[in-house]
Structure 1
Amino acid sequence: MADEKKAAFLANEKQIPATESQSSTKSISEDEGSEITWTEEEEKALKRRVDFLVMPILILAFFALQLDRGNIGNALTDYFMRDVGITQFQFNIGQQLLSAGIVILEIPSNIILYRLGPTIWIGCQILAWGFVATFQAFQKGLWPYLATRLLLGLCESGFIPAGLFTMTRWYKREETSKRFAIYFIGNYLATACSGLIAYGILHMRGIGGLAGWQWLFLIEGAFTVLVGFVFIALFPKSPANPVSFLGIRYFTERESQILQQRVLRDDPTKFQPRRNVSWGEVKDTFTNWRILPHFLMAILGLAPAHTMGSYAPSLVVSFGYDRLKSNAMLSIGSWILFILNLVWGYAADKTGRRGPMVLLGVFCFWGFTLGSRLVIDSQNPNLRFGLLIATIAFQAPWHAVNGSWLALNARSAGERSITMAIFVMSANIAGIIGGQIFQARDAPLYHTGWTVIIVLCSISLAMAITANLQYWLLNKIQKREGEDRYIW
């Protein structure tokens, strides 16, 4: 049934002959009526070129995003709260405002992306949050701090789902999970490197009369601004128009047609006849009950990850380790997460099973958070540090696969765009929750905080089980009725 729909769609568009949908040598028809044929080897070569063109620029931008979003956790070890003049509760409010700012503009941002295209819109976003991140080095007092965090979130909103949606236009379904995981390399690589970078920069305290955390914001923010200019200058507009803002054409007309048709043959829902998202697509997305378990799983499972992003360096200090070295020590867990993220994405595409991989990842995270809670009163700092590293390592390798799972079950290009926005909104709602899990009155062991984390992870695990069960049951029904089956 699915193959018949694909063939009919492409035949109606006069893009390929309907009878050739199963041919090993792929073909499309040009406007003149002549056929363009290509081999599997030629397609693989084009895909490799896309991998080395599109993915590195997106990864670099994600790297800059995570540096600017997460470096405040490193700043805490350099007396940030004392210098700015805020309490821990006020710091938590600022972190919640960052996530709230992202949530507020997530969907509007993706609607604009759909109309303007990724090169201009994403590039302008990078520049906007880059300037905010740079000049936050000069904040002083509660209200400037809160305003800066909110503004940073508003400027960052939409970037991650924009990148995810952009990739679906370049890759086929069986290639998506691995590329989503590769995209998140930017996130996890920044997390892994941020502690090492901070360890060096924070030693600059006193140079030019500035604190170490001020130098951290200045240097990393300026790097982001540079990335924004690189993105605008070099990123190709689309498979149909693979030209950069500088006028660099990366693929010939024939290669561009192959890039478009190989994706549309695989999934006709990626056909984008309009430059805007319809109200029907927005309505269909928000009334799609199947995304609810994905949404809740991400909110509750990632809330502890946001807490760790802010407080993990301080936790390591409470174990008895050096204040600045704690930033570098935590990079161990982030490097492991970096590797596991790739393993999860590769395994999901290789096996064709996104749901079970998501469930396995959430289960591992739940197990290590439980271990961290059980040893909270241990006098063995190495044991506590080891379990904290394991918790960080398994906190999110399943997240990118969850995103690709959602994207692959979207029914149109517009719905996929809104779904990706909701997916990333869930991660930032998690930030609003995670921003208040650790309270000053609960420090330094955070008995209550760790208990809350266990509860959240347990419900997230239940949602992962629910998501798997719903697709399993729906596919049994769909198979009996002879309709298209959901990707599980």
Structure 2
Amino acid sequence: MSTAHESKSPIVSEIEESSRSHNSYSSPDDASYNKNQDIEVQISQVSSLNQLGSNPFLDPKVEEHYRDIYEGSQYECRHEFDPHFTWSPEEEKKIVRKLDFRVALLACFMFVALQVDRGNLGQATSDGFLKDLKLTTNDYNTGNTIFLVAFLIAELPSQLISKRVGPDRWIPFQMIAWSVVAMSQAALKGKSGFYATRFLVGFLEGGFIPDIVLWLSYFYTSKELPTRLSWFWTTLSLTTIATSLLASGILRLRGVGGLPGWAWLFLIEGLFTLFIGISAIFLMVPSAVETKAPWRPRGWFNEREIKIVVNRVLRDDPSKGDMHNRQAITPKLLWKGFTDYDLWPVYIIGFFAYIPMNTLGLYLSINLRTLGFTVLETNLLGIPQQVLHIVLLIIYTWLTVRLNLRALVSLCQPIYTVPLLGVLCWWQGAMHNKWATYAVTSLILGNPYIHAVCVGWCSTNSNSVKSRTISASLYNIFCQLGGILSANIYRTSDLPLYKRGNKVLFAIAFILVPILLGTRQYYVWRNKQRDTIWDAMTEDERKSYIEDNKDLGNKRLDFRFVY
């Protein structure tokens, strides 16, 4: 949650100095408590204290306000809510390390299953998949479009089901179901089967990413989440590297058992992701207070650790307790999420940002084979761009968190990709120098990836679990819409180097620059609007507003958007 004012008053400075001496507030004597209480009341009238490293619940009215919300929503962790509970920085670091191992690493492990089953089609094309099924480039485009449309259709329904039954139940079911379909691709004989399996895999995978992001948000603060999401998408690249190496071996099984190499690829990797899905049943937990199970009788945390996990998250973002983790989204909340115009700028970024990379990624194997590389070379040559992708993703995410600048740092992506796409568009020697063409393509695919930051950006600017649940799906839907466009830019008539398609990619990459700058200015303008209204209110009016407006999410006058 953002503060209502950028500048710091003497009161704020006093609190910050106090908070630096310990991680959270202890219960003081009556005199000092009254002094701190007076300070907290004044600050709560103009801002949220979370970004100041303070405890907003020390103001009794703020505590009462949110305690009523937590009780009303039957928030599963409400009995651990304690405004005066204290812990040391060393304890918090230990807890975060444990969360990284138990939660973030598990999320990365599950993401492997998604990337393996949605990414191995590109590897299959290097083994004559299109030729064996008598498919054209346009048929391949149609299959990828069907996958993305199905993925898109399932986004919101999947998120709604997950919110009702819990991510810890729904996500393992998804992985098991799509793994079975993925394995069935080994029996493909023609176009109709290709289209059918593309639809089923896409439909069953839809919603997985926002489900995982929502689950992660239960355990991490707003500043910690982007870094953990960068690990999430780093896993994508590591998985692609591993599967590229694996594919180079599996595809050599062509002819064994009368099956082509790509059939063995689908079968073996589908069995692997099925194992991950079954494992997730026993590894995931509903929340910090529900980690015990017959196969895990001691749970993840002791009683003190549970209180630290719960209270550190709530003090960072009190809105994370406004829903139960098994509470369904109502039609009214769904409509409210759709019409939240303040999040649409981030959705628009999600639509345009990944189109050039998606298109080049879909056709990497086909293009490398066209340039004359062998099946083995094609799969191994996909590795360097993934390594570059990991390095730039980590650097970019760290820089964004360090500077707290999302829009401006995100400009790194188009500034990096536009010149390289220009080379692909207008360089006349592409067909005659396959290694140079490969190098340029790999540099583009290894671009500074802004997806992790945008997901965290959308989550923070939602300022409510209710709207956060919907906004995560809507953001991903816009990404999939962009994916549908990216799957249809290269056409058969544009073979062999897709010069016309590359010009379209160049234009789309360039458009992202004004979109990012416009998004930043929009949020600056919205914050100034609220500053004007808030500054014109008297102290009594501000206090009355805070007491009366209990659930407005990012529409609260005392909330400020991050940019």
Q: Does 1:68 align with 2:114?
A: no
1: CA distance, partners of 2:355 / 2:464:
30
* Distance change in 2, residues 1:112/1:31 (3 Å): closer
* Distance change in 2, residues 1:9/1:484 (3 Å): same
Q: Does 1:305 align with 2:350?
A: no
- 1:3 counterpart (48, 67, 81): 48
Residue number in structure 1 paired with 2:561? 486
Q: Does 1:46 align with 2:91?
A: no
Letter in 1 for 2:440: L
Contact 2:411 2:516 in 1 (8 A): yes
Supply the RMSD in Å over aligned alpha carbons: 2.3
Q: Does 1:382 align with 2:431?
A: no
Instruction: Give the CA deviation at 1:343.
Output: 1.7
Instruction: Give the CA deviation at 1:192.
Output: 2.8
* Distance change in 2, residues 1:376/1:198 (3 Å): farther
2: CA distance, partners of 1:431 / 1:69:
13
2: CA distance, partners of 1:420 / 1:476:
26
Letter in 2 for 1:486: F
Q: Does 1:226 align with 2:301?
A: no
Residue number in structure 1 paired with 2:126? 77
1: CA distance, partners of 2:278 / 2:314:
31
Gaps of 5+ in 2: 1-45, 51-55, 69-76, 535-557
2: CA distance, partners of 1:29 / 1:330:
48
Contact 2:351 2:478 in 1 (8 A): yes
Letter in 2 for 1:109: S
2: CA distance, partners of 1:390 / 1:34:
50
Contact 1:180 1:345 in 2 (8 A): no
2: CA distance, partners of 1:90 / 1:250:
49
Say which is worse superposed, 84-93 or 145-154, in terms of deviation. Answer: 84-93
Contact 2:111 2:236 in 1 (8 A): yes
- Aligned positions of 1:81-96 closer than 5 A: 81-96=130-145
* Distance change in 2, residues 1:245/1:174 (3 Å): farther
Residue number in structure 2 paired with 1:344? 396
2: CA distance, partners of 1:58 / 1:277:
24
Instruction: Give the CA deviation at 1:191.
Output: 2.4
Contact 1:366 1:454 in 2 (8 A): yes
Letter in 1 for 2:306: S
1: CA distance, partners of 2:167 / 2:62:
26
- String of CA shifts for 1:396-424, please: whole Å, max 9, x gaps: 61111111111110031011011111111
- TM-score for the superposition, normalised by structure 2: 0.80
* Distance change in 2, residues 1:377/1:446 (3 Å): farther
SS of 1:306's partner is helix
Q: Does 1:164 align with 2:213?
A: yes
- Aligned positions of 1:406-445 closer than 5 A: 406-445=458-497
Say which is worse superposed, 464-473 or 102-111, in terms of deviation. Answer: 464-473
Residue number in structure 1 paired with 2:233? 184
1: CA distance, partners of 2:356 / 2:186:
27
Residue number in structure 2 paired with 1:460? 512
SS of 2:510's partner is helix
- 1:393 counterpart (446, 449, 465): 446
Contact 1:376 1:445 in 2 (8 A): no
Contact 1:29 1:36 in 2 (8 A): no
Contact 2:459 2:468 in 1 (8 A): yes
Letter in 1 for 2:443: A
Instruction: Give the CA deviation at 1:13.
Output: 4.6
Q: Does 1:277 align with 2:329?
A: yes
1: CA distance, partners of 2:437 / 2:352:
23
Residue number in structure 2 paired with 1:59? 108
Residue number in structure 2 paired with 1:251? 301
Contact 2:47 2:559 in 1 (8 A): yes
Letter in 2 for 1:3: S
Q: Does 1:354 align with 2:406?
A: yes
Contact 2:248 2:375 in 1 (8 A): no
Structure exhibiting the larger radius of gyration computed from Cα positions? 2
2: CA distance, partners of 1:438 / 1:327:
21
2: CA distance, partners of 1:288 / 1:63:
32
Gaps of 5+ in 1: 16-27
Instruction: Give the CA deviation at 1:144.
Output: 0.9
Instruction: Give the CA deviation at 1:466.
Output: 1.6
* Distance change in 2, residues 1:458/1:34 (3 Å): closer
SS of 1:236's partner is coil
1: CA distance, partners of 2:378 / 2:169:
39
Letter in 2 for 1:289: Y
Instruction: Give the CA deviation at 1:458.
Output: 2.1
- String of CA shifts for 1:246-273, please: whole Å, max 9, x gaps: 4441112332222111111111111133
2: CA distance, partners of 1:478 / 1:365:
36
Residue number in structure 1 paired with 2:313? 263
2: CA distance, partners of 1:423 / 1:449:
25
* Distance change in 2, residues 1:446/1:238 (3 Å): same
Residue number in structure 2 paired with 1:296? 348
Identity %: 28
Say which is worse superposed, 211-220 or 195-204, in terms of deviation. Answer: 195-204
* Distance change in 2, residues 1:149/1:162 (3 Å): same
Instruction: Give the CA deviation at 1:48.
Output: 0.8
1: CA distance, partners of 2:389 / 2:323:
39
* Distance change in 2, residues 1:135/1:13 (3 Å): same
2: CA distance, partners of 1:310 / 1:112:
30
Contact 2:421 2:506 in 1 (8 A): yes
Contact 1:300 1:460 in 2 (8 A): yes
SS of 2:86's partner is strand
